[in-house]
Amino acid sequence: MKIKSIDVRVLKVPLDEPYTAGGRAVGANWHVMAEVTTEDGVTGFGYIVALNELFIGTVATATRELAPLLTGMSVAEPEAAWRKLARAGDWIGPGGLLHYAIAPLDIAIWDAFGKSLNLPISRMLGGTRDRLPVYASDGFWYSLSLDELAASARRAAEAGFRAIKLRVGHEPLPEGEVRRVQAASDAAGPGVSIMVDATETWTVTRAIRTGKALQEAGVVWIEDPVSHTDIAGMARVAGSLDVPVATGEHLYGISDFTRLLEARATGVALIDLGRIGGVTPWRHVASMAHGFGVQVGGHVLPEIHVHLLSAVPNARVVEYVPRSAALLQTMPEIADGVLIVPSGGGFGLELDQDAVRRFTV
Ligand SMILES: [Mg+2]
């Protein structure tokens, strides 16, 4: 299981329907992908996805510079590999660009480890279950009209989702946000839960006021109500609402999550695989959250998160944002509100090599 070679590439996957997120135009999903091949000829792959070209080349360069440090190590020692990379790059880390650069390598190592043993990662990490509730997250932008939002909600319900997440935070009054939730809920029909993501747009007082109106309207989680840098404010919002505050996707390390959890500022810790630096540290944060009685969720990359979340006892739900579907032969299957863990070795995913060639830049 010794690592023989590592390839790193940048891929640009153009979108059929560009959109705006956080005030920025998004026209493509940018990937930094690492492929790790062992001496026995097993190849694992991993990637991070960004919505913006800026720094993608820089991250790929950093990943390429780190990769040779892994030559000769075994894919059966991902923890040791992660520590070696983090230590080597600690001049610009921990966190930031270094974690993004490590993540594709770490994910690829786990994939190759699982493929070598022909075991799914979900089982290697604990095997708590083989499927998880999933929610639709793409296509509910705040820029949509109420009619467009309703159409989007109807499509998601028809596709088998039992939960959807709307972007909010841009209406002048709480009543406006409630109207958006109601339009989506009415269109999706009974049995479809509505979650909201305010993408850090509110002040604390505004978040509490709007959050109360939204929970009254039946919303089941409120994501990123205020800036992630305001942990005390986040804790005030969390303590004022009955529904959980979900947050954490902007955090880069276990110590950031320690502060968040100690402040009782979240009911669902969202762990971003790129920012945390891959599967290895993701597990540490998930375990710590379990100790605090806090659920965890992922952030994008559903095909990877379905494994990680299925493995841990405190998982809540997978966010379905299929940003890499065009690069894969198949995505995990959605059935009746759940995402099913692929049964193959590693992450159980295979690259579509034609697509990989086409999208490589
Ligand atoms: Mg979010």
Instruction: Assess whether 50 and 153 both reside in one domain.
Output: no
What residues make up the domain containing 157? Answer: 122-340
pLDDT at 25: 87
Helix (H) or strand (E) holding 117: helix 96-117
CA 304 to ligand 1 center in whole angstroms: 17
CA 358 to ligand 1 center in whole angstroms: 30
For residue 349, name the pLDDT band (cuts at 50, 70, 90).
Answer: very high
For residue 72, name the pLDDT band (cuts at 50, 70, 90).
Answer: very high
For residue 21, name the pLDDT band (cuts at 50, 70, 90).
Answer: confident
CA 223 to ligand 1 center in whole angstroms: 6
Instruction: Assess whether 25 and 62 both reside in one domain.
Output: yes
Instruction: Assess whether 282 and 207 both reside in one domain.
Output: yes
Instruction: Assess whether 69 and 198 both reside in one domain.
Output: no
CA 191 to ligand 1 center in whole angstroms: 23
- What is the arithmetic mean of pLDDT over 276-301? 97
CA 106 to ligand 1 center in whole angstroms: 23
Question: 322 lies in a domain?
Answer: yes
Helix (H) or strand (E) holding 14: strand 3-21
CA 25 to ligand 1 center in whole angstroms: 17
For residue 24, name the pLDDT band (cuts at 50, 70, 90).
Answer: confident
Distance, CA of 337 to CA of 325 (rounded, Å): 19
For residue 17, name the pLDDT band (cuts at 50, 70, 90).
Answer: confident
CATH number of the domain bearing residue 330: 3.20.20.120
Instruction: Assess whether 110 and 140 both reside in one domain.
Output: no
CA 74 to ligand 1 center in whole angstroms: 35
For residue 169, name the pLDDT band (cuts at 50, 70, 90).
Answer: very high
Helix (H) or strand (E) holding 245: strand 245-247
CA 2 to ligand 1 center in whole angstroms: 37
Question: 90 lies in a domain?
Answer: yes
pLDDT at 139: 85
Helix (H) or strand (E) holding 131: strand 131-136
Over residues 222-265, the pLDDT tens digits come to 999 999 999 999 999 999 999 999 999 999 999 999 999 999 99
Instruction: Assess whether 32 and 88 both reside in one domain.
Output: yes
CA 222 to ligand 1 center in whole angstroms: 10
Question: 241 lies in a domain?
Answer: yes
CA 298 to ligand 1 center in whole angstroms: 10
- What is the arithmetic mean of pLDDT over 10-32? 89
Closest to 106 in 3D by CA, of 308, 295, 340, 353: 308
pLDDT-above-90 percentage for the chain: 94
* Residue listed under structure tokens 């205020």: 226
Distance, CA of 121 to CA of 38 (rounded, Å): 17
Question: 242 lies in a domain?
Answer: yes
- What is the arithmetic mean of pLDDT over 53-75? 97
pLDDT at 81: 98
CA 167 to ligand 1 center in whole angstroms: 8
Question: 348 lies in a domain?
Answer: no
CB atoms within 10 A of CB 37: 18
Instruction: Assess whether 187 and 325 both reside in one domain.
Output: yes
Distance, CA of 70 to CA of 61 (rounded, Å): 15
For residue 195, name the pLDDT band (cuts at 50, 70, 90).
Answer: very high
Instruction: Assess whether 238 and 327 both reside in one domain.
Output: yes
Over residues 129-146, the pLDDT tens digits come to 999 999 999 889 888 999
CA 187 to ligand 1 center in whole angstroms: 23
Partners of 134 in beta bridges: 318
Question: 112 lies in a domain?
Answer: yes
pLDDT at 3: 98
80 Rama sector, left if φ>0, alpha if ψ -120 to 50, beta otherwise: alpha
CA 38 to ligand 1 center in whole angstroms: 36
Instruction: Assess whether 104 and 34 both reside in one domain.
Output: yes
Segment 50-56 long-range contacts (CB within 8 Å, at least 24 positions apart): 50/274, 51/21, 51/24, 51/26, 52/24, 52/26, 53/12, 53/28, 55/97, 56/10, 56/30, 56/32
CATH number of the domain bearing residue 54: 3.30.390.10
CA 224 to ligand 1 center in whole angstroms: 6
Question: 345 lies in a domain?
Answer: no
Q: What is the count of structural domains for the chain?
A: 2
Instruction: Assess whether 104 and 253 both reside in one domain.
Output: no
Question: 347 lies in a domain?
Answer: no
Instruction: Assess whether 85 and 184 both reside in one domain.
Output: no
Distance, CA of 93 to CA of 87 (rounded, Å): 9
Instruction: Assess whether 322 and 270 both reside in one domain.
Output: yes
